[in-house]
Amino acid sequence: MTVPLRILVYSSNAHTREEVTSAIGRRPNPALPEFEYLQVATEPMVVHYLDAGGIDLAILDGEASPAGGMGVAKQLKDEIENCPPLVVLTGRPDDRWLADWSGAEAAVSHPLDPFVLTAAVTALLGN
């Protein structure tokens, strides 16, 4: 039995967290283990779980409040040694430059396209 990959999904909006996990699913790529999701609604919990380790990838909602995902991504990349890959959800495609500034390895814009989001996540985990 393979150990599942742990994916942290951060958004202050429960609907957005559900949308992300539903879009990707539990086994989006047969070459990868099953995904196990950890949904969090606050920035302190994101830092707690990533600092503790054991997270393979984090998806951060740039539209979350009061702490947006791009600022959280920048903090994680600056402060957490061996930070896992980060995917930032942006409000619009033109916000890609902010995602680059944050250090995130990928950016996907709202409205979420399940195929684009899944491709970004599986590409980062397939390395």
> How is residue 65 annotated by DSSP?
S
Q: 55 to each of 27, 46, 49, how far by Cα in Å?
A: 17, 10, 7
Sequence-separated (6 or more) residues with CB below 8 Å from residue 66: 12, 43
For residue 7, pLDDT beyond 90: yes
pLDDT at 95: 81
Q: What percent of the chain has a predicted confidence (pLDDT) above 70? A: 98
Q: Does position 127 have pLDDT exceeding 60, yes or no?
A: no
Mean pLDDT in residue range 64-85: 94
Please give the CATH topology (third level) of the domain spanning 6-125: Rossmann fold (3.40.50)
Q: Where are the domains of the chain?
A: 6-125
Q: Tell me the C-alpha distance between 76 and 93, whole Å.
A: 22
Looking at residue 123, what is its pLDDT? 96
Instruction: Give the model's pLDDT for residue 70.
Output: 93
Residue 20 above 80 pLDDT? yes
